[in-house]
Amino acid sequence: MNFELHNLRILVTGATSGIGLDIAHALAELGADLVLFGRDRDKLAELETSLGARIQALDITDSAAVAEAFCAMPPLDGLVNCAGISILDDVLDVKAEDLERILATNVTASAVVTREAARNMIEHGRPGSIVNVSSQAAMAALPGHLGYCASKAAMDAMTRVLCLELGPKGIRVNSVNPTVTLTPMAERAWSDPAKREPMLDAIPLGRFATPREVSLPVAFLLSPAASMISGACLPIDGGFTSH
């Protein structure tokens, strides 16, 4: 068994920014043949050149566009569901339309992409691996995160159902559950010490994650080295959810 991804074709959603962008780079470094979904056409064009990736600009909440994208999809060996949004509000201020947007992207769209990817793998007889990028918010209550916590808990539940249904087809399904991950956006969002320090105090390792500390566990779960791992929800949180 090895940790390399040579000759494996892997689709990554949300690949043009944040964790998804780092996952794309990490998988490319490990030899994967990439298919990238995202909304930033300029960034996708750059990744097409720099990583040799096959690209598709689309909004994954448009199920018709997703289905069309899969019409010409080559055989897949893996999928990373990384596209997601977060809208934060205290529960007394939460808006129905914001909850609908969060669930539409983080849950429904991920389920539709997974459906199409699984059909592709089964049609081509490819045993595959699917990794859902969830969050510590699926495992612990976070103030102001009602919609986000609910959506990521739903993603973990989806992981378990997919594991049960797709396992007999040779397809493994797992989640990773990161803590705050220092993408450029997160660095700005957590720059205020009054916000940052209480969260750091709750993480036994005393620091936030780097994007690569999320990307490499994702790569491991996609790889042959994880061939007997399915249905797992893996905290990448420095111990945050241990208490």
Q: Parse the chain into domains and list their residue ranges.
A: 9-181+214-232
Q: In this predicted structure, what is the pLDDT of residue 175?
A: 98
> Residue 3 — pLDDT band, cuts 50, 70, 90?
confident
Check pLDDT > 80 for residue 97: yes
3-class DSSP state for residue 40?
A: coil
Q: In this predicted structure, what is the pLDDT of residue 2?
A: 65
Helix then strand count (H, E) for the chain reads: 9, 7
Rg of the chain, C-alpha, whole Å? 17
| DSSP label at residue 108 | I
99-155 residue pLDDT tens: 999 999 999 999 999 999 999 999 999 999 999 999 999 999 999 999 999 999 999
Point out the catalytic residue in the list 43, 95, 152, 195: 152
Q: Which of 208, 213, 206 is nearest to 180 (CA)?
A: 208
Topology at the third CATH level for domain 9-181+214-232 = Rossmann fold (3.40.50)
192-243 residue pLDDT tens: 999 999 999 999 999 999 999 999 999 999 999 999 999 999 999 999 999 8
Point out the catalytic residue in the list 95, 148, 169, 195: 148
| DSSP label at residue 57 | E
Round the average pLDDT of the chain to a whole number and report it.
Answer: 96
> Residue 1 — pLDDT band, cuts 50, 70, 90?
very low
**Is 95 among the residues known to form the active site?**
no
**Is 195 among the residues known to form the active site?**
no
How many other β-carbons are positioned within 10 Å of the β-carbon of residue 139?
A: 18
In the chain, the amino acid numbered 85 is I
Phi and psi, residue 139, nearest 5°: -110, -15
